[in-house]
Each structure stands twice: as structure tokens, then as C-alpha cells.
């Protein structure tokens, strides 16, 4: 069963629209991440957070922004969508302090900007 | 960021064959993870390795943490059609994980 939820699963939207991709986890993990992945390609870290009110940019430059007001919620926002933003966006969370270092991933949001 | 090279990039095998893939880096890692991603889904953790030399199995899957801590391999025995997907390695240094470039596996019935 999924403990990390992403909505929507699929989104087709017009250029210039503002969108927010939702990610929530029920595991109480401090650390959360957003990855961008083109089909069949590698994962690129675009944002991460180590706790409430903490956000950092990842290795891949992105025009998106994130917020972390609550532990369980880590939404990603695109103020003005463009066709170059078409991709799959994966949210993940982890908790190192328990000794279980694995990331748990959501099912992803497949975004298409037309 | 750190660079993890996975090989091969893609594999096409017959059902029943064994599969071997590996992940190498010029950097030392403290933890190695192996994930599988089905089409249209997020990656799912298969095996976690925490010590150099560790060999861990999960059903038909076996993974090893290289002695040098710069590499890891994953073996799948007696492949079946549902093994199809992309396999990612991930290495941890500090609080950060870095993902490999992925190995795409196709199993031909």
C-alpha cells in the first residue's frame, strides 16, 4: 500500500497556466524530495526538504518552486507552465534516523503542457 | 553531484535467463540501494545494502555491496516477464542519495 501520495496522476494543461503538483506522506518522514524524469531516463533531483520551513534546490535547475509548511505535505508549483516542463515528476520521502535509508517514492505525476 | 554509471544501459533477454547489471562510481558510498520502476509508476525499493562486501538476497534477486564501496551489482535469476522495467541503483554519501542512469530490462517470453 502507498504511504506517499501524489495527485494528479496525469495532467494535460495549456501553456502559461499555473499548476501545483501535490505530494503527501503519512510516514512522518522529515526528508522529502522532488525528482524530474523523462520517460525511460534517469532521475534528476530538482528540490528537497529536510524539514518544515526548509527547502533547497537540487542538482537540476528548475523553474518550479516548493513549500514545506507541514511535515506531511510538499507541493511543487509551476507559475507559468511551458511545453519544456512536460515530464514525469516523482515525489519521495525518507527518514535516516531510524536506520532505514531507503527512499519511498510516490506513483508520480505525468505532466503534459500543450 | 556524484556520478553513478550503470551498465548495461539496456538488456533484451529470453524468459528463464539470468540477468546481471552493475553500478560503478569514482566515489565511495555508505549505502547502496537497488530500485525497480515499472512503466508509469514510481521506483520501488528492491534491496538495501549497508556494509562493504554485504551480499543480500530477495527472492530471485541478489545484490552485493562492493569491497571498494564504489560499486554494486544486482543479479536476477530465472527471469520472468514481470521483471520488465527499469532498474536503478542509488548510493548514499552523507544525507544525500545519488541515482544511477538506469538499466532497462526487457524479457521476451
- Beta strands B96-99 and B44-49, pairing class: unpaired
Nearest CA in chain B to A30: B95
pLDDT at res. A35: 95
Q: Tens of pLDDT along B25-79?
A: 999 998 999 999 998 899 999 999 999 999 999 999 999 999 999 999 999 999 9
| Cβ count within 10 A of residue A75 | 16
Please state, in angstroms and as integers, the Cα–Cα distance from residue B44 to each residue in A65, A90, B12, B20, following that order.
26, 12, 21, 19
Q: Quick check: B6 and B25 in contact, CB under 8 A?
A: no
Phi, psi of A99 (to 5 degrees): 90, -10
pLDDT at res. A98: 56
| Cα-based torsion angle of the residue sequence A55, A11, A78, A66 in order, rounded to the nearest 10 degrees | -10
| Nearest by Cα to B25 from B72, B83, B75, B74 | B72
**Between chains, do B86 and A40 touch, taking CB under 8 Å as contact?**
yes
**Rounded-to-integer distance, Cα A97 and Cα A100, Å:** 7
**Rounded-to-integer distance, Cα A65 and Cα A100, Å:** 28
Give mean pLDDT, residues A77-94.
95
- Please give, rounded to a whole number of angstroms, the shortest distance from the CA of B92 to a CA of chain A: 8
pLDDT at res. A66: 97
Residues in contact with A90: Cβ distance below 8 Å, sequence separation at least 6, in sequence order: A6, A34, A35, A36, A37, A43, A105, A106, A108, B42, B43
**Between chains, do B33 and A31 touch, taking CB under 8 Å as contact?**
no
**Between chains, do A40 and B48 touch, taking CB under 8 Å as contact?**
no
> For residue B99, which residues of chain A lie inside 8 Å, CB to CB?
35, 42-43
Residues in contact with B82: Cβ distance below 8 Å, sequence separation at least 6, in sequence order: none
> For residue A94, which residues of chain B lie inside 8 Å, CB to CB?
97
Give mean pLDDT, residues A55-74.
92
Secondary structure (3-state) at A108: coil
> For residue B35, which residues of chain A lie inside 8 Å, CB to CB?
105
Of A26-30, A37-41, A44-48, B16-20, the least confident: A37-41
pLDDT at res. B72: 97
**Between chains, do A104 and B45 touch, taking CB under 8 Å as contact?**
yes
Question: In this complex, which of A101, A104, A108 lies closest to B92 when CB atoms are compared?
Answer: A101
**Between chains, do A101 and B43 touch, taking CB under 8 Å as contact?**
no
- Please give, rounded to a whole number of angstroms, the shortest distance from the CA of A18 to a CA of chain B: 24
B-interface mutation test, from A101, A107, A110, most B Cβ less than 10 A away? A101
**Rounded-to-integer distance, Cα B81 and Cα A90, Å:** 25
Higher pLDDT, A60 or A72: A72
Amino acid at each position: 500500500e502507498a504511504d506517499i501520495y501524489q495527485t494528479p496522476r496525469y495532467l494535460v494543461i495549456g501553456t502559461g497556466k499555473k499548476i501545483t503538483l501535490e505530494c503527501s506522506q503519512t510516514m512522518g518522514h522529515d526528508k522529502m524530495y522532488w525528482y524530474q524524469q523523462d520517460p525511460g531516463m534517469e532521475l534528476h533531483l530538482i528540490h528537497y526538504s529536510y524539514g518544515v520551513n526548509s527547502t533547497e534546490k537540487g542538482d537540476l535547475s528548475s523553474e518550479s518552486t516548493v513549500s514545506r509548511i507541514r511535515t506531511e505535505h510538499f507541493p511543487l508549483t509551476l507559475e507559468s507552465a511551458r511545453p519544456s516542463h512536460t515530464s514525469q515528476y516523482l515525489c519521495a520521502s525518507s527518514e535516516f534516523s531510524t536506520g532505514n535509508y531507503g527512499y519511498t517514492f510516490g506513483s508520480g505525476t505525468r505532466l503534459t503542457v500543450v | 553531484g556524484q556520478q553513478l554509471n550503470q551498465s548495461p544501459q539496456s538488456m533484451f533477454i529470453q524468459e528463464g535467463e539470468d540477468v546481471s547489471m552493475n553500478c560503478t562510481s569514482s566515489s565511495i558510498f555508505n549505502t547502496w540501494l537497488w530500485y525497480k520502476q515499472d512503466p508509469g509508476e514510481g521506483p520501488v525499493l528492491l534491496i538495501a545494502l549497508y556494509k562493504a562486501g554485504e551480499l543480500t538476497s530477495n527472492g530471485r534477486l541478489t545484490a552485493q555491496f562492493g569491497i571498494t564501496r564504489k560499486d554494486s551489482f544486482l543479479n536476477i535469476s530465472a527471469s520472468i516477464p514481470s521483471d520488465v522495467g527499469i532498474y536503478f541503483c542509488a548510493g548514499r554519501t552523507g544525507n544525500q542519495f545519488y541515482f544511477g542512469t538506469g538499466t532497462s530490462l526487457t524479457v521476451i517470453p
